[in-house]
Amino acid sequence: MKTYSVKAGEIERHWFVVDAQGKILGRLATEVARILRGKHKPIYTPHMDTGDFVVVINAEKIALSGRKADQKEYFRHTGYMGGEYFIPFRRMLEKHPERVIEIAVKGMLPKNALGKQMRKKLKVYAGSEHPHQAQQPETLNI
């Protein structure tokens, strides 16, 4: 018996909608990353992008467990000496709620060109509206 390897033209992509309201950030991000990679499919191949599209709504209503909401900080650097920025979770959630989920999912995907290709299939929106109704996304309960 031979091992089956999927071809690029045989991959079927579906669209899923995930409501982030009241969900824990890390638990939501792991499930979203799993779907983006395609690990939920029997045709999963590590060296190919077999994943589906994921639309996350209500990003502004995401939660963290414990005291992480007060303690978590995001790090950024300008490239210049002393150009470090530490952005608290609460401020990031107020200004850019989409980035909170994007950063969490990015850390769970491969750090190469394949991971970049997978990240492009993630669509995150702060509110409950999204422009992807034409793709007829299925609701995913996490």
Residue-by-residue DSSP string for 115-139: HHHHHTTEEE-SSS--S-GGG-PEE
List, in order of start, the domains of the chain with CATH numbers.
14-65+96-139 (3.90.1180.10)
CA neighbor of 73 nearest in space, from 84, 60, 58: 84
Residue 49's SS3 state is coil
**pLDDT for res 101:** 98
**pLDDT for res 4:** 84
Tens of pLDDT along the chain (142 residues) come to 888 889 999 999 999 999 999 999 999 999 999 999 999 999 999 999 999 999 999 999 999 999 999 999 999 999 999 999 999 999 999 999 999 999 999 999 999 999 999 999 999 999 999 999 999 999 999 8
According to DSSP, the residues that pair with 89 across neighbouring strands are none
CA distances from 24 to 2, 13, 17, 59, 136 (A): 41, 26, 16, 11, 26
